[in-house]
Amino acid sequence: MTLDWCGANRTDSVLIFEYKISVSSCGQLERDFYIILLLIISNSPDLSAILWLPGPVFLLPLGSGVQATYQILKATPVCKVIMLSAHNDESYIIEAVNSGAMGYLIKQISAGNVCTANPGSPKGEHIFQPVHSQTSSKGRSEGVKKKSNQIDETRNVVIDKRMGMENIEHVVVVMFENRSFDNLLGWLYDNQTDPPKFNIPPQTSPTFDGLIAGKYFNQLTPTSPDKVFATRPPSAWPTCPNANQVPTPDPQEEFEHVTVQIFGKPFPLETDKADMSGFLKNYSTTDAGMASANQIMQTFGPAEANVINDIARNFAVCDAWFASVPSQTWPNRGFVHTGSSDGHVNNDMYEWYHIPTIFNVLEDQGKSWGIFSAASVTPSLTYWQLPYLGGLRERAQQNYTTFKQLCCAPTTAPADEKLPAYSFIEPRFNAELFGLEQPNDYHPPHNICRGETFLANVYAAVRSSPYRDKIMLVIMFDEHGGCYDHVAPPTGAVAPLPCPVSRDGKFKFDRFGVRIPAIVVSSYVEPGTVFRASPGEAPYDHTSILATLRDWLNLASDPTKFLPSPRIASAPTLDRVLTRTKGNENSAWPEISPKRTIDGLDISPATPLNDVQKSLIVAAAVKNSGDGHIPTAQEVKKITTYAHGAEYLEARARQS
């Protein structure tokens, strides 16, 4: 078999190769090769020197197109690959796109036809529409145009990478607080006895990266004879009489503490590898002390946290979604809203993030959005953190009851009576109304039953919506909150913009945070799916939400009108998770309700305030008084308990 290059056509950001394959018995090549590349798009000028070589970049001995795509993206992650293949069955096309390919061509097509069909390609755009051969009949061409991921008789179709997103009209994200993946979902599947049904990218035998009894442990010191293994279920401890509140007290989550948890030491060398060995050591320095430190290795299984586990099992869960920053709430929520933390690696003094947000982008491009909060008294955290919203800020704190009402609209209702295109939901972070309403955010040491109950309520609202087939619900957490996880976060993260270096100049945002639970709920999800990024891709992190919105709503057709962060540009998207097609929706949305009851033992005015709660006390105080937020933050940092927080707000109310 020989490969003859017919020519190459180069624009500023597009390389298009035409070739033909001739089969020969002369044996010019010693082995057979799988030829897969037709088009590569890259914004990297240095890539062209590599691509002109007709060597291993293009040829994979005795492999498949999917494997070749993995190889290319691993070697050159900035590539965007479109596969050319004779395989025309839908399952293989889905596998190809899930492997990281930006599109798929069946049968050969000329470079000129690609550019004609997709005029945006010279600008580096990667949403491709159907391409038809010149010999296709009018009737056949019209048949393909109806659906960009449909296989037509013409066999000249480029698969739109949005896949199932073309059937989605509403994306809903609910973000909870401070739990690691292992803490809540580590026992979801067992690879030996109860594996998942599907993997994305596909594997011959689907796998799940969870906990295994008697395998993962921490020690107080490397030489300690006692190994404390990750176990379930949680139990009562001297500092935590209610097992539903493990761990109590709140673990430490600041950047320096997370570094210890990941590396086992406060100042790792560049050559040190993360081994997740420092959780027990770090937690023993809290008020838990030695007597209660081992609870940090306890986790919740499907019986103890049935709501989140049942949803994960019935839809799609990611077992490799990492926090954007190895640190606290504010920086990580900054990434999900803006693609950056404005240089912050901790909550600091709750300084505002004066940078553009996804909500500004949506507003400027005429796309609807809403932020819904379960709080009754304190403002939403998004409202307080992002003053760049300007005059839109009041829309950042709609009540959660409004979200439920919008879910109930009939399918024939006008757009303004349904959910907006993008909805972001916050749980209740603080105890409010004199303790009648308790936090339901999963944040330790809050009773997880309250978080489970709120999650079940969000799921039920979407499940019962008359237009639920048009909704994609994403359930996620902002960071791990000091809770144990056995998977080391990846390095090599792309630095964000603005502020690619931390404000103290010590961190280049080149490490991800610890794994967090992330679940995709949709009628177009295959139940029992476990998904993760393809080899060679960046892992899923919070900017994957922004990347998904970008592609789904075409928000970056003019790059100057989208968020500038390179972290977003490198993030994998969620389109590949929606593998079912219209007409084949999953109608089996099970009814899911909490099996554990809230016993009320978690209600105490002496409960310590966490840092997020303090930031919202600052927000409530400043919003009602107009005082400067930094002096107020300095005051609130000294407050210690729920009772003190209520007293402070009452005093400020009297002063105003």
Distance (Å, whole) CA 70 – CA 221: 40
Cα–Cα distances in angstroms (integers) from residue 119 to residues 145, 458, 548, 554, 633, in the given order: 17, 42, 22, 15, 52
Q: Cα 310–316–321 angle (5° rounding)?
A: 105
Provide the 10 A C-beta neighbour count for residue 205. Answer: 7
Tell me how crowded residue 8 is: count the other CB atoms within 10 A of its CB: 14
151 in the Ramachandran plot: left (φ > 0), alpha (ψ -120 to 50) or beta? beta
In a domain, 645, yes or no: yes
* Domain hosting residue 138, numbered range: 2-161
Decide if 417 is inside a domain: yes
| Residue 481's CATH number | 3.40.720.10
Is 477 part of any domain?
yes
Residues of the chain with pLDDT below 50 are: 1-63, 107-162
Residue 151: what pLDDT? 30
pLDDT for res 524? 96
In this predicted structure, what is the pLDDT of residue 655? 78
The rounded distance, in Å, linking the Cα atoms of 353 and 334 is: 8
Element (H, E) at 172: strand 170-176
Q: Is 141 left (phi over 0), alpha (psi -120 to 50) or beta?
A: alpha
At 539, list the tokens.
């892992």
Do 325 and 423 have their domain in common? yes
- Let me know whether 633 and 491 are in one domain: no
Burial class (CB in 10 A: 0-12, 13-18, 19+), 191: middle
Query: How far is 261 from 246, CA to CA, in rounded Å?
Result: 18
Long-range contacts of 404-410 (CB under 8 A, 24+ apart): 404/457, 404/461, 406/370, 407/461, 407/462, 407/464, 407/465, 408/461, 408/464, 408/465, 408/466, 409/465, 409/466, 409/467, 410/466
Residue 269 lies in a domain: no
Q: What is the DSSP letter of 396?
A: G
Q: Quick check: helix, strand or coil at residue 397?
A: helix
- Contacts of 583 by beta carbon, 8 Å cutoff, 6+ apart: none
Helix axes 629-636, 642-655, angle to 10 degrees: 140
* Count of structural domains, the chain: 3
326, 392: one domain:
yes
- One domain, residues 461 and 386: yes
- In 288-409, the DSSP E strands lie at 316-318, 369-373, 398-399
560 lies in some domain: yes
Residue 326: how many CA atoms within 13 Å on its side-chain side?
24
Which pLDDT does position 102 carry in this prediction? Answer: 64
Positive or negative, the Cα torsion across 504, 506, 512, 517?
negative
Closest CA to 357 of 323, 374, 333, 375: 333
41, 174: one domain: no
Q: Last residue of some domain: 530, 557, 577?
A: 577
Q: Are residues 157 and 175 in the same domain?
A: no
In a domain, 239, yes or no: no
CA distance 133 to 156: 6
Q: What is the pTM of this model?
A: 0.79
Asked whether residue 649 is domain-assigned, the answer is yes
Contacts of range 462-466, beta carbons closer than 8 Å, 24 or more positions apart: 462/172, 462/407, 462/521, 463/589, 463/591, 464/407, 464/408, 465/407, 465/408, 465/409, 465/419, 466/408, 466/409, 466/410, 466/411
R_g of the chain, CA atoms, integer Å: 26
E-strand spans in 319-432?
369-373, 398-399, 422-426
Does residue 226 contact residue 218 with C-beta atoms inside 8 Å?
Answer: no
The residue among 577, 598, 621 that closes a domain is 577
Cα-Cα-Cα-Cα dihedral sign, residues 606, 610, 612, 618:
positive
Classify residue 133 as exposed, middle or buried by CB count within 10 Å of its CB (0-12, 13-18, 19+).
middle
**162-186 CB burial, b ≥16 within 10 A, e <16:** bbbbbbbbbbbbbbbbbbbbbbbbb
534 and 464 assigned to the same domain: yes
Residues 513 and 647 in one domain: no
- Give phi and psi for 81, each to the nearest 5: -110, 135
Whether 234 is covered by a domain: the verdict is no
Asked if 393 and 368 sit in the same domain, the reply is yes
- Asked if 497 and 639 sit in the same domain, the reply is no
In this structure, the answer to whether residues 391 and 503 fall within a common structural domain is yes
439 and 539 fall within a common domain: yes
